[in-house]
Amino acid sequence: MFGRVQGVGYRFNCCRQACSLGLTGWVRNLPDDSVEIVAEGPPAALNAFVAWCREGPTYADVEHVAETPEPATGEFPVFEIKD
């Protein structure tokens, strides 16, 4: 995610949204002020999650979402916030 996505509760709300959709993976801030997300789950849940990511929480201003679909690995037991 690019835009105003750090310092606005994006990771916390992202994690909450992903968990509510039954997704696994992680979210983290990057040094360039963007946010990186890796998520796995059913296609419908992933589509709903990507739609949420394009909006973000109240004070976010998401300018661009870059998606890179990859095969699921099943390696994530939960969805978490990484430092």
pLDDT for 11-26, tens place per residue? Answer: 999 999 999 999 999 9
Any catalytic annotation for residue 11? yes
Q: Domains in the chain: how many in total? A: 1
Q: What pTM was computed for the model?
A: 0.92
Given a cut of 90, whether residue 83 has pLDDT beyond it is no
Residue 57 sits in which domain range?
2-81
Q: What's the whole-number average pLDDT of the chain? A: 95
Maximum Cα interatomic distance, the chain, rounded to a whole number of Å? 33
Any catalytic annotation for residue 29? yes
Catalytic option among 11, 16, 28, 47: 11
Catalytic option among 4, 13, 28, 29: 29
How far apart, in Å, are the Cα atoms of 39 and each of 4, 11, 31, 72?
Answer: 21, 13, 20, 9
Q: Residue 67 is part of a domain; what is its CATH number? A: 3.30.70.100
CB neighbours of 38 closer than 8 A, spacing ≥ 6?
25, 26, 27, 76
When computed from its CA atoms, the radius of gyration of the chain, rounded to whole angstroms, is 12
Given a cut of 90, whether residue 60 has pLDDT beyond it is yes
